[in-house]
Amino acid sequence: MTKQEKVNFVINTLDKLYPVIPIPLDHKDPYTLLIAVLMSAQSTDVRVNKITPLLFERADNPYDMIKLSVEEIREIIKPVGLSPMKSKGIHGLSQILIDKHNGEVPQTYEALEALPAVGHKTAAVVLSQAFGIPAFPVDTHIHRLMYRWNLTNGKNVVQTEKDAKRIFPEALWNDLHLQIIWYGREYSPARGWNLDKDIITKTIGRKTVLNDYFKKKK
Whole-angstrom distance, CA of residue 153 vs CA of residue 150:
7
Q: Count H helices, E strands: the chain?
A: 13, 0
Whole-angstrom distance, CA of residue 178 vs CA of residue 206:
22
List residues with catalytic annotation. 121, 139
- The amino acid sitting at 94 is S
Whole-angstrom distance, CA of residue 84 vs CA of residue 117:
11
Whole-angstrom distance, CA of residue 81 vs CA of residue 48:
10
Tally of CB atoms within 10 A around 20 = 4
Sequence-separated (6 or more) residues with CB below 8 Å from residue 16: none
**In angstroms, how far is CA 184 from the centroid of its own chain?**
12
- Could you write out the DSSP letters of every residue in 35-68? HHHHHTTTS-HHHHHHHHHHHHHH-SSHHHHTTS
